[in-house]
Amino acid sequence: MIVDGRLAAGERINEVHLAAALKVSRTPLREALSRLAAEDAIEVLPRRGYFVRPLTCEELEQLYDVRPILDPAALRLAGLPPAAVLSQLSVINAAIEAESDPEKLIALDDLWHLELLRHCPNRVLVGMIEQVMLRTRRYELALMRERPTVERAIDHHGSITAALRRGDLTAACAALKANMTHGREPIFAWLRQREAAAVRQES
C-alpha cells in the first residue's frame, strides 16, 4: 500500500481503519508496523503515531551506494564456496525464475545473496548487509514488478555462480558488484515518474 501510493508519503496511519481494511486484528497489524518501522518504511512520532516515510531518490542513491561495497567484500572474505552452496544457489535461482509474486521474488533474491555469503566469517558485515536489505525492500518491490529486471538478476546470479565454479573469486566479486548496481536506474525512473505524478496532482 505504501509502494503503490494507497498510503501516501507523510500520511498518518490510522490503525483502526487499516485493521478493518485489511480484515486483521490490531495485534498482528502492530507487529507489521513495528517491522516496517525497523525497515524505515514508516516512522514513529511520540504521542502522534505512525507516519509513512517518502520514497526518495536521495535515500535510494545512498542505499544503493552501500551494497556494491559490502557484498563483494563479504564474498572475498567468504572465499570460494563448497559444492553444496553452489548447488543451493542454482536451486534458489531456478525458484526466482519460476516465481512471479514480487514479494516472494524479493525474499528469494535476498535468500540467494545470504546463501552466497553464508561462509563469510565477519558476521557484523553480513548483519550490515541484512539491514540494508530491509531498508531497500520497498524500493526493490517496485523494481521486481518489472520482469526484464528480474531476468537480468537471474543472468547476473548465473554469472556469479559460473565464476565461482571455475574458481575465479575475483571475477565473481566483479559480477556481484555489477549485480548490486544494475537495478538502480529502473527504480530511479519509477521514482521520478512517481514524483512527477505527485507534482501534477498538487498543481
Q: Give the Cα separation of 203 and 195 in Å (integer).
A: 13
CATH 1.20.120.530 at 58-191, yes or no: yes
CATH topology of domain 1-54: Arc Repressor Mutant, subunit A (1.10.10)
135 within 8 A of 40, measured Cβ to Cβ: yes
Instruction: Please give the chain's pLDDT, 203 residues, in tens.
Output: 876 667 888 899 999 999 999 999 999 999 999 988 988 889 999 889 999 988 888 888 898 899 999 999 999 999 999 999 999 999 999 999 999 888 898 899 999 999 999 999 999 999 999 999 988 887 877 666 655 668 888 999 999 999 999 999 999 999 999 999 887 777 888 788 877 877 777 76
What three-state secondary structure class fits 113? Answer: helix
Bridge partners (DSSP) listed for residue 52: 42
Residues 6+ apart with CB under 8 A from 28: none
**Domain map of the chain by residue range?**
1-54, 58-191
CA angle 80, 83, 89 (to 5 degrees): 85
